[in-house]
Amino acid sequence: VFQLSVPLNFLGSVYRELRQSLLDMETLFNLQRVNVAVKEKPDAQPLLLNRGGEIKFENVSFAYNPDRPIIRKLSMTIPAGQKVAIVGPSGCGKSTILRLLFRFYDVQDGRITIDGQDIRDLSLQSLRKSIGVVPQDTPLFNDTIEHNIRYGDITASHEQVIAAAKRAQVHEIVEKLPEGYSTQVGERGMMISGGEKQRLAVSRLILKDPPLLFFDEATSALDTHTEQTLLGNINSILKEKKRTSVFVAHRLRTIYDSDLIIVLKDGNVAEQGSHEQLLDRNGLYSELWNAQEMLFTEEEVEGKVAKGG
């Protein structure tokens, strides 16, 4: 028995590694148009989260093409354990910041640190294991719903999968399916909506339970009510576990309660602060906020008129 258990354990860990690298591949595809040029240093170290996950950009510059700089001498701090939002006009480089943090690309100038460690000095595996991303669009594996959620942590029990699905507001939907958690999804399985996919991605992340969490327009396909409930659940998990989180968002209503809001423009920080502080400044944030509120109110009014009420 003893002799047998060793190779089995070994196989188990190979299997876990394989599953994990599939997960990373998945994230990789999601962050799109990625050129995998980064190299791990021969003496790469594992990430040590000894200050609770503080992320710093110090004078970072980056361009996909040399003639078109995207990030320009950007310095910003994402404090440990806080919920931080990155907002700004379309194309200002919000998703690029997440790709740099995940080290799909290396910065061309300056540095990015996590708890004081330059991410270029870290092993890619330890960096990416510490980060969980809910991207704009999550492709599902050709597998059951249960397995798709369990990719977050393949050692999770059925009960843990369900608990994660409940917090991600998708349990009730899954339960109503004829085959429940055994329903096949993915390209060859049942078609599910964008909003359901997003909630499966959040369930996965809840199971993975990484120290650093990034959300890239992660709830954009949900209706306002479901979105608010889901964001409330995510907030309570973040608070409970004191996780550092970064939310990239267009709709400011989804992030106005962040501890810190960083407003980007032309690849640099235009302004930062809390929602109230930024409204008081009457700058870019307040402009974006007022424009969106106006639209929101119009939609509300139109909605009521359309319903005849």
Nearest to 52 by CA among 81, 78, 76: 81
Measured distance between the N- and C-terminal CA atoms of the chain, rounded to whole angstroms: 73
In the complex, minimum distance from the CB of residue 219 to ligand ATP, in angstroms, rounded to a whole number: 14
What is the β-pairing status of strands 109-114 and 55-65? antiparallel
Give the separation between CA 166 and CA 203, rounded to whole angstroms: 8
Stretch that binds ligand ATP, among 14-22, 41-49, 89-97, 237-245 (CB under 6 A): 89-97
Q: Is 87 in the site for ligand ATP (CB under 6 A)?
A: no
User: Ramachandran region of residue 65, left (φ > 0), alpha (ψ -120 to 50) or beta?
Assistant: beta
Residue 10 found at the interface with ligand ATP (CB under 6 A): no
DSSP of 244-267: EEEEE-S-GGGTTT-SEEEEEETT
Q: Report, in Å, the least distance between residue 94 CB and ligand ATP.
A: 4
Q: Using CB under 6 A, which of the segments 5-13, 88-96, 114-122, 181-189 binds ligand ATP?
A: 88-96
92 binds ligand ATP (CB under 6 A): yes
Residue 148 binds ligand ATP (CB under 6 A): no
Beta carbons of 59 and 42 less than 8 angstroms apart: no
Span 33-72, contacts to ligand ATP by CB under 6 A: 33, 64, 70
- Between CA 122 and CA 233 the distance in angstroms is 32
Question: Cβ neighbours of residue 29 under 8 Å, at least 6 residues apart?
Answer: 139
Site residues (CB under 6 A) for ligand ATP, limited to 251-270:
none
Interacting span for ligand ATP (CB under 6 A) from 13-21, 93-101, 167-175, 272-280: 93-101
Q: Does 91 bind ligand ATP (CB under 6 A)?
A: yes
Among 94, 103, 150, 167, binds ligand ATP (CB under 6 A): 94
- Nearest approach, Cβ of residue 74 and ligand ATP (Å): 12
Position 15 contacts ligand ATP (CB under 6 A): no
The nearer residue to ligand ATP, 237 or 249, going by C-beta atoms, is: 249
Minimum gap (Å) between residue 93 Cβ and ligand ATP: 4
Measured CA to CA, the distance from residue 249 to residue 84 in angstroms comes to: 11
Q: Looking at 27, 82, 95, 203, which residue binds ligand ATP (CB under 6 A)? A: 95
Structure tokens that stand for 38 in this block: 């980064």
Instruction: Judge contact between 197 and 137, C-beta under 8 A.
Output: yes
**Interface contacts to ligand ATP, rule CB under 6 A:** 33, 64, 70, 90-96
